[in-house]
Structure 1
Amino acid sequence: MASVGIEKTEQQNTDEITNYVSSRWITASTATWSMFEFPTHGRHPPIVRLAVHEENQQTVIFKEGEEDIALDRNTNTTLTAWMKFNEDHPEARQHTYDQFPVHYRWDAANKRWLPRKTSNYCIARVYSTNPAQGERHYLRMLLHHIPGATCYNDLKTVHGTTYPSYKQTAIVMGLLDDDAEWERCLNESVLQDMPCKIRRLFAIILVYCAPANPAHLWNTFNEHMSDDLARPHLTPSQITNQVLLSLDTLLKGMNSSLQDFPDIPPGLHSSVPNFSCQ
């Protein structure tokens, strides 16, 4: 058994590449494979990454001073090109977004979809989202269930009715669970916790549990969250405002805010002191 040690001084620069090449051991089979130039790596089946973004919200990478050129070059994404292809080819409208790469291939150079002529064995990967991203998350959900969309409004339309948001559309389609579980959770908290604890639990539910109807939860439990903030000299609207400001502070500690939940009114800062319990 032998051991090898490398002594490093402050003046010595380590060349990791040279060290690797000098110390690696190549067997006869590896050398033969390399001499005959056989492939050393590959990927099968092909994987296609599918973009998810709201209308005119695609990612654009550019160099300083070349913004206009980058905008022209990056207009089409896999998502917008899918809608354009559906508009021009009615026979393709039977496929959802995640199924599309099985039958069509993405031409990255020209940013367009083309029919597959050979194998249709392909794996599609739609970029992941999370509920904190709001409408983008619900858009991704709808793309897995609505085939043949030719525009963004098609993804908000169910049985001829166009809804104002992707989230509302997902609710109508039954893709989101109801909030019965979160109501039971908050009801249990009301029985045993201080209002400040209820507010913290409410904030956690908003950020991490993606309730289908935050406004309904707010209207149901806002009075229970305000008991410790009530003062004789405060009006009901001022007390509600204090609850909202306290919630907003809690949400900011979770990298969120009330602005991420438009169904709940934002708190208005005023000269009224913000009372809260720790």
Structure 2
Amino acid sequence: MFRRTDAAISPTALYTGTVWRRNGLSHPAFATFAGTALWTGLVGPRRAASLLGAPDLDTMLLARHHSIDTLLERAIDAGEISQVVEIAAGLSPRGWRFASRYGSDLTYIETDLLAMSRRKEDLLTRAELMGPGHRVRVLDAFKPTGPNSLDALANELDPDQGTAVITEGLINYFPMPHVTTLWNSVGSTLHRFPRGLYLSDLHLDQSPGAVTATAKVLITAFVRGNVYLHFDREQDAIDALRKAGFDDAELLLPSSFEGVDPVAGVDRNLIVRATTA
């Protein structure tokens, strides 16, 4: 079990890593004591929030993860994408799972800030989970150019291959100027390739009353920081993505994907799919 570096991993990475592992999506090597403790500590608040009508956090996380997986699988299987960059990958098992499944047919680069990327690479290396084409790199999601930017990382990729960028569980934890910088960077970078796909998730500020307030309090406690709801309407988010340089964009309901149970609240976290061509 991953122990000595748990304290340096963000709460979101610890918690989501535990959710993936508890639901059979991850490898035992991704387990953390701190993540298990955090998950256990939030069982009571999660149950209380559910009684007030708030959606279950784990259910939302699993629906989000499955939906993004499905969209990525479709693009790879259709021959549209053969390179993936996952930003702020944390303890996500997606890189390991997709690299294992597609082997040398797929280049998968997991990125994060320095401390987390070092820990992820160490974890994957020690557990012998690093497959062909699977890499870990340092990347600052909000740095538009220069070393450790997405623009610089793109130089490692084949300019003739379709490329996807994923930012799961990131957008709503940063203020709008950061999101604009990120989206501009992703949109600009993906235009360097024949096909570009951006996958993410987004909470809208459109649900009134105590349910939204309760859910926001729970998520704020979960991330130990602020939660930002940038857009009131889907069209506002789509317009912002187009302004960032994407040729097409849509927000999808997780319940529209096969394998996602349409339980109450699961569609509060919308899936972002934006493309360049």
Q: TM-score, normalised by structure 2?
A: 0.25
Bigger relative CO (Cα 8 Å, ≥ 6 apart):
2
Q: TM-score, normalised by structure 1?
A: 0.25
Q: Name which one, 1 or 2, has greater alpha-carbon Rg.
A: 1
